[in-house]
Structure 1
Amino acid sequence: MNPSSSRAEIADRLRDTAPSLVLTSPENAEKLPRSAAPVVLVPETFHRTPSAGHEFAPFRALLDSDADDFPSAEVGQEDAAAVLYSSGTSGRSKGVVLTHRNLIAMVELFVRFEASQYARPACDNVYLAALPMFHVYGLSLFAAGLLSLGSTVVIMRRFDVGEAVRAIHRYKVTHLPLVPPIMAALLRAKSTGASSLDSLVQVSSGAAPLSGKLVQDFIKAFPHVDFIQGYGMTESTAVGTRGFNTSKHKKYASVGLLAPNMHAKIVDLETGLCLPPGSCGELWLHGPAIMKGNIS
């Protein structure tokens, strides 16, 4: 859940999902309604010692618990694994139910795309996590996909362009997934004297459309970076398309190639018929990463 959600939004989410346990930071605990499920406070920095603080004792107890203390449960691939709330572009925000199968497919499809980008081993890559992990973009990349690649992930609590530039230099970041506002912020930092971020190999943009001018300005400012775009939705577990440049063919304005095992077609909204290449219509996606359904 977005930690900046209002009290009313949090109450709605709790009614929708009926959680049996809530994990939250101390500063957000006061937003929870009194009727909420049992709450476990999670510290920003945690040391597994008694001095970690009494308020965090339940969290420490969870970490120290033996797996045998809990009853085993049968979990199938079609069972719900996560509920993420969409941005609400078509109305009230809906809870998107993603299954274990969806997440497995996302990891596999992400691995295939990401690991095939360059000759260097994926485990040598260093990613900067400047995107929120309650969003499907951040969840798919940092909380699941990159772990399966063995890549290093440097996590920012929240994005700050100065801190991001320093982190890129300090940790020799090679990959920076971002959204258009972060891309614009890096350009402004470059114009005010920030260095050229030499360690970066790839910058990938998603979650929102980019203007052609912003793309061209970024490529001009950072010519050594392989810039790509991608497309996906919460409802497709972030899987959709991903850019892929070669030494001979670079198409920065494109959202790239269709993901493996993902089917797509463009449909005429009036006739319901499939349209040929180059036509405008509604994009339909089908594949193992498509959500189970939604709750609202």
Structure 2
Amino acid sequence: MALSLKKHYSVSKGDVAFILSFHSFHFPILYFALLPLGVIISPAMPDESISDVNRLVNLCKPTIAFTTSQSSHKLPSHLPTVVLLDSPEFLNSGLEDRDVISQNDGAAIFCSSVTSDPRKGTFLTHRNLIVAAATAQSYHIPSDISDQARALTSTPAPVSLTTRLLTAVFGSSVMMRAVLMGETLVLIESNFEIEQVLEAVDKYKG
């Protein structure tokens, strides 16, 4: 995926990618493809109004946008490149000729919650994301040696259910931690619905 993005869309270190999509497994794939290239991600949910999407785009000034065919109409027409996540061309793989990315390089621009108006952009480095993921991981460190021993056996990996928005730094950190820990990650598609959560717990409990 990273190879495809670099070759076909000329994305490179320092570019900003605006991601307008409801939760799906495209999110982890896209995050882990863009971040090693040094591309700065700026995600948003498509239930934002068209005016809000335009304001967020103007805030982060992306060179490329990722969305779905259902949400593409909300993006401003002046964007140079728009990639549809539900297109057959999206899921390619491969990686070569990577730029060297340091921990102090830009990694993401997350928009603040609506506690104030207008919303503000929070610029995070790779170091910030590493610390956030490590902090989330610390809550899952085995408490004693016996737990560590069990972790090395064939016991099935834990199942993580995230109800946090992947367009916010906390949700993104939880998602990245689960992937790095080899856990099974269950995503709630959009807004928190208690019925959806209970159904997911019953179906995917581990």
TM-score > 0.5, shorter chain as reference: yes
**Candidates 79, 101, 104, aligned match of 1:78:** 104
**Candidates 174, 178, 181, aligned match of 1:146:** 178
Q: Is the 8 A contact 1:127 1:151 kept in 2?
A: yes
Structure 1 residues 88 and 168: CA distance shift in structure 2, 3 A: closer
One-letter amino acid matched to 1:161: I
**Deviation at residue 57 of structure 1 after TM alignment:** 4.0
1:216-231 correspondence runs (5 A): none
- SS at 1:16 equivalent: helix
Give the distance between the partners of 2:113 and 2:203, measured in 1 at CA. Answer: 34
Give the distance between the partners of 1:167 and 1:88, measured in 2 at CA. Answer: 28
> Deviations along 1:55-74, whole A, 9 cap, x unmatched?
x14424xx15x434xx5323
Q: Percent identity?
A: 26
**Deviation at residue 160 of structure 1 after TM alignment:** 3.1
Q: Which residue of 2 aligns with 1:16?
A: 59
- SS at 1:67 equivalent: coil
Q: Which residue of 1 aligns with 2:166?
A: 133
Structure 1 residues 167 and 79: CA distance shift in structure 2, 3 A: same
Structure 1 residues 11 and 127: CA distance shift in structure 2, 3 A: same
**Deviation at residue 166 of structure 1 after TM alignment:** 2.2
Q: Is the 8 A contact 1:123 1:150 kept in 2?
A: no
Give the distance between the partners of 1:67 and 1:8, measured in 2 at CA. Answer: 36
- SS at 2:110 equivalent: strand
**Candidates 83, 98, 101, aligned match of 2:127:** 101
Which runs of no fewer than 5 residues in structure 1 stay unpaired? 44-55, 174-296
- SS at 2:139 equivalent: helix
Q: Runs of 4 or more off by more than 6 Å in structure 1?
A: none
- SS at 1:40 equivalent: strand
Structure 1 residues 148 and 136: CA distance shift in structure 2, 3 A: same
**Deviation at residue 167 of structure 1 after TM alignment:** 1.9
- Normalization by structure 1: what TM-score? 0.47
Give the distance between the partners of 1:109 and 1:128, measured in 2 at CA. Answer: 18
Q: Which has the larger radius of gyration?
A: 1
> Deviations along 1:192-224, whole A, 9 cap, x unmatched?
xxxxxxxxxxxxxxxxxxxxxxxxxxxxxxxxx
**Deviation at residue 98 of structure 1 after TM alignment:** 0.7
1:1-296 correspondence runs (5 A): 1-43=44-86, 56-60=87-91, 63-64=92-93, 66-68=94-96, 72-116=98-142, 119=147, 121=151, 124-142=157-175, 144-158=176-190, 159-173=192-206
Q: Report 1 or 2 for greater relative contact order, CA contacts < 8 Å, sequence distance ≥ 6.
A: 2
**Deviation at residue 164 of structure 1 after TM alignment:** 2.2
RMSD: 2.4
- Name the count of aligned residue pairs: 155
One-letter amino acid matched to 1:96: T
